[in-house]
Amino acid sequence: MATNCPYGLRALATVVFDIDAGQRLDALHPPDCGLSAAAQASLAHLALPHSTSQDEGDTQFAVRFHESTEPSSTFLYGFVLFRQQRDESRSRGYFQKALVLVSERPYVDLYDRVLRVAGPLFFSVGAQVLRAVYDGIHSWPAPTFGVPTVLPLAGTFVTCIIPQLIDYGDLDAAFDAEPLPSPPSSDHFIVESDEQSLSDDPASEEDEDDSSGGAAHAPSPSFGDLLISRRAHQVSAFESVGLYSSFVGLESSLWLLWQLAITGESLVVLSPHARTCSQATLAFTSLIAPLQFQGDYRPYYTLYESDFDELVRRQNRSVSRPSEMTVIGTTNPFFLKSLNRWPNALVFPFVEATQAKESSPATTSSDSENRECVSLRIKKKVDLDVFEPSARARILRRCSAFVVPDATVLRQLVCQQEVYLTQTASVLEDPHTAINNAILRKHFRKLTKRFLEPFEQYFGIWKANGVRPNLYMSAADFMKPFELQSFLASVNPRKLPRQIRASKWKALYTGFVQSPHFEPWFTYRRARCVRHFATTMRSVRAGISASMLLRSACGKELSREQCKQLQVEIESALAMERMREPVDEEQMRVIEGHLKAVRKRLKPKKARKSK
């Protein structure tokens, strides 16, 4: 049962640990929210994280789970606040309870902030808070996307930026959400980039309006929100998740993680803390923005999920299978044994520096990054669980490195002592962290866009094709077909981003084409190009008379064969126009008039004279 809430909220739930029944759902509001028994079981398993850490306090993290036991069922998102406190009166020695917001939409930043308000209220007041929070969110106005937004909640406010997400599978909604394309350039009829509105010119950014437009008593946007609002609009789900804050200590390995993400390499993320693995998993999927991540991902995952065996089977063969790309976040070290032949692993420290041991010698040490003991290239027959715990985060990978870090970007990152912030913005994270998150996000968005630029030749109708344009031509019939080898032959390596190794660019592009991201993105871009072209033609037709339609650009009359082809195209356009809702009567009149003129031209001359 889908929710009618524009923010996707389906339900609020609480989870407790029962000494007899284990983890169980304690409360659910509303009771008739339509969550299946399987979804409720997943909530119970995921909301209380398994961890060897006995840290006390509150932990917030995200989960993603199937709505039912059917593998093809849609996913739901759970945003969890887990509280653990020492309590000697309990058999386990701890009080453990979680509040979960269940949503159909991955608004991680919004619900992370909602939990900061609702969580403390719930633990101090009780279950009656569930109804108040649920009703409050359902009473919010329709979302305003891409700008700092102030929303009332439980007597206070939450501020955030809600992204307008693009769904490759819903072209109509995606087309309506995007700005119209810029005028076509001089060397082709229509071609467009992923983000027409994006500008890398700092001068243009200074002119943007950062005001939230809220009431005078509403809180100011956070410092991080102000930095995000200067960016182009978000079109992927987790760009608000900080790259610097999620991968502290791994900054120089972010380019390798970008490579794994864009080529469809599966990854298991292991950390003693649920928030760390959850945030790292979400940040990993966002590294390739504005490209949509199309693999499966579970920010926090447990052994008790119903599809655990299926996920283990997908990739546990040492060689990645891009068509089944999966990213798993977990706190359970047993996953390295269960997933011992997965292609790649990101392991955060489980031990203090004084406890660390030397890593196993089962690595190849030819790569320079191995000297830093951050990224280790391991052999295909080596299990992930043979490595001793380390005090440093490590990437264990079985693939070659196709990219290198950008030293200029790394030098731009600032430390805490270098940042001075006035009190004009609320601070939800350290200012230096917000700045570094913004620097890295901007860099990787630009890197992905530049990486995708060679594909622009497939999203337009080029003059080199020798196509004679007319008002009823279909762009799809004249666009360049894609073939991998011809594409690679067309790429100029000197124009590629400098972070791509000169000897590895073909392998990188081949990996991307074989990844689950490529086909949905490529199909969507082609369809969007066709739609933009058709929209432009519809706006132009009304100003074209029948006599102009039947002549070429140089004033020469169309041949009989050209008129026959034009008739077919007009009839097809007329049929498409009749299927539109609502029908554009003016456009129908124009098309029918053009069709009448073409049919008249195709009649024998004697028949035309007799009339």
pLDDT at 192: 41
Segment 277-312, tens digit of pLDDT: 999 999 999 999 999 999 999 999 999 998 998 888
pLDDT over 70 (residue 436): yes
Arithmetic mean of pLDDT, 455-476: 75
- Which range, of 56-60, 236-240, 341-345, 350-354, averages the lowest pLDDT? 350-354
Give the separation between CA 99 and CA 109, rounded to whole angstroms.
16
pLDDT at 228: 55
Arithmetic mean of pLDDT, 340-352: 87
Arithmetic mean of pLDDT, 418-438: 66
pLDDT at 19: 72
Type of residue numbered 475: A
**Opening angle at CA 173, ends 172 and 176, nearest 5:** 85
Q: Do the beta carbons of residue 175 and residue 186 sit within 8 Å?
A: no
* CA proximity to 456, closest of 428, 429, 472, 480: 480
**Six-digit token string for 240:** 């608000």
* CA proximity to 170, closest of 109, 107, 231, 235: 235
Helix (H) or strand (E) holding 94: strand 94-103
SS3 content of the chain, % helix, strand, coil (to 5): 40, 15, 45
pLDDT over 90 (residue 416): no
Give the separation between CA 66 and CA 398, rounded to whole angstroms.
30
Give the separation between CA 395 and CA 379, rounded to whole angstroms.
13
pLDDT at 497: 96
Arithmetic mean of pLDDT, 165-174: 74
Residue 577 vs residues 198, 239, 543, 591: alpha-carbon distances, Å = 33, 38, 18, 9
**Six-digit token string for 108:** 């991680």
Omega of the bond leading into 405 within 30 degrees of 0 (cis): no
Of residues 228 and 369, the one with the higher pLDDT is 228
pLDDT at 331: 95
Cβ neighbours of residue 86 under 8 Å, at least 6 residues apart?
56, 93, 94, 95
pLDDT at 350: 80
Which pLDDT band holds residue 424 (cuts at 50, 70, 90)?
very low
Give the separation between CA 337 and CA 126, rounded to whole angstroms.
40
- Within 10 angstroms of residue 426's Cβ, the number of other Cβ atoms is 14
pLDDT over 70 (residue 513): yes
Segment 515-553, tens digit of pLDDT: 999 999 999 999 988 888 888 888 888 888 888 888 877
Arithmetic mean of pLDDT, 218-238: 61
Which pLDDT band holds residue 367 (cuts at 50, 70, 90)?
very low
pLDDT at 479: 87
| pTM of this structure | 0.84
pLDDT over 70 (residue 224): no
pLDDT at 69: 84
Give the residue carrying structure tokens 């005001």: 211
pLDDT over 80 (residue 204): no
Rounded mean pLDDT of the chain?
Answer: 83
Give the separation between CA 599 and CA 157, rounded to whole angstroms.
65
pLDDT at 193: 43
Of residues 35 and 374, the one with the higher pLDDT is 35
For helices 431-452 and 254-262, angle between their N-to-C axes, nearest 10 degrees? 40
Q: Do the beta carbons of residue 68 and residue 39 sit within 8 Å?
A: yes
pLDDT over 70 (residue 322): yes
- CA 44, distance to chain mean position in Å, is 27
pLDDT at 423: 40
Percent of the chain whose predicted confidence (pLDDT) is above 70: 80
pLDDT at 219: 55
Arithmetic mean of pLDDT, 206-213: 38
pLDDT over 50 (residue 236): yes
* CA proximity to 262, closest of 530, 504, 526: 504
Type of residue numbered 269: V
Which pLDDT band holds residue 358 (cuts at 50, 70, 90)?
very low
**Six-digit token string for 605:** 């001359």
pLDDT over 90 (residue 408): yes
pLDDT at 199: 40
pLDDT at 502: 95
Segment 25-64, tens digit of pLDDT: 999 999 999 899 999 999 999 999 987 666 778 999 999 9
